[in-house]
Amino acid sequence: MEIKPLTGAFGAEVLGLDLAVGIPEEQARVIETALADNAVLVFREQALNIDDFETFAKSMGEFGDTPFVTPMDGHPNVLQVLRQPDEEGPLFGSGWHSDWSFQLKPPSATLLYAVDVPEAGGDTAFTNQYLAFESLSESMKSILIGLKGIHSAERSYGPKGTFGRPDPDASMDIHGDETAVVHQVHPLVRAHPLTGRRSLFINEVYTVGIEGMTNAESSSLLKFLFEHSRQIDFTCRVRWAPGTLTMWDNRSTQHFAINDYFGNRREMYRITLAGEQPIRALS
């Protein structure tokens, strides 16, 4: 197994593995450490069926809880992320976000496997929240460490959200409901459970406020943090091909599904891994 940097900032490609035949426990832990260090891992030219994909994911951790989206028949932990060539509705995964950050214990990682992708377009962009925090001034760091963000799925899956009403023309069965308006509070700066490294934990899709602040105060600070957190120097981009599996750490990244492939079909399998309640980073 070889781990090769994907960019000068972060991310890596993992070479020399055939995930379809399974991996031993010691290799799984090496991959886990590599993910914590690199935030995004890419495995190319993997020939996986759904069972293979689930087996690899299971070797990396327990399955996470996936609300609001109907999973694949017979595979309750796998989503088919599908978009047909003529589909015009909202794109699942668009907007900079960390998966399901509105949960009490957001997923530690997400795995996405490419089944059918356009020759060009449909890339996924990532931004490194270790770097986003570390590049701030010491004064700003000291302010943020004491704050907590308010997270909610209301903008996406609430009754008035992007996916709040069933779309009969959509390829995916996404069903928002009243439970999406519940608020969850997490530290604005969290410590990674494996590395101890500090990262921003905010995103424009699910972070709706800051505890103890007025809307005007929190909106101004969050606007700055959202823009700061996605600077080009903090980003990398994965171009998909059939058989590409990408795994990312939701504790230290945000990602964005790019909607630039109208007229082409795109099909992926997606699994999230269970995480822990975010721990506030110490100053």
Each residue of 172-194: pLDDT tens digit? 999 999 999 999 999 999 999 99
The percent of residues in the chain predicted with pLDDT above 90, rounded, is 97
For residue 159, give both structure tokens: 């009754």
Q: What is the mean pLDDT of residues 237-246?
A: 98
Each residue of 205-217: pLDDT tens digit? 999 999 999 999 9
Which stretches of the chain are DSSP H helices?
25-38, 50-60, 129-134, 138-145, 154-157, 215-229
Evaluate if residue 199 carries a pLDDT over 80: yes
Each residue of 14-58: pLDDT tens digit? 999 999 999 999 999 999 999 999 999 999 999 999 999 999 999
Q: What is the mean pLDDT of residues 256-261?
A: 97
Q: Which residues contact 80 (CB under 8 A, 6 or more apart)?
A: 71, 72, 172, 267, 268, 269, 270
C-alpha–C-alpha distance, residues 241 and 227, integer Å? 30
Question: Does the domain formed by 2-273 have CATH 3.90.79.10?
Answer: no
Q: How confident is the model at residue 65 (pLDDT cuts 50, 70, 90)?
A: very high
Each residue of 123-174: pLDDT tens digit? 999 999 999 999 999 999 999 999 999 999 999 999 999 999 889 999 999 9
C-alpha–C-alpha distance, residues 199 and 190, integer Å? 6
What 3 state SS string does 109-139 have? EEEEEEEECCCCCCCEEEEEHHHHHHCCCHH
Measure CA of the first residue to CA of the last residue in the chain; give whole Å: 37
For residue 45, give both structure tokens: 């030219």
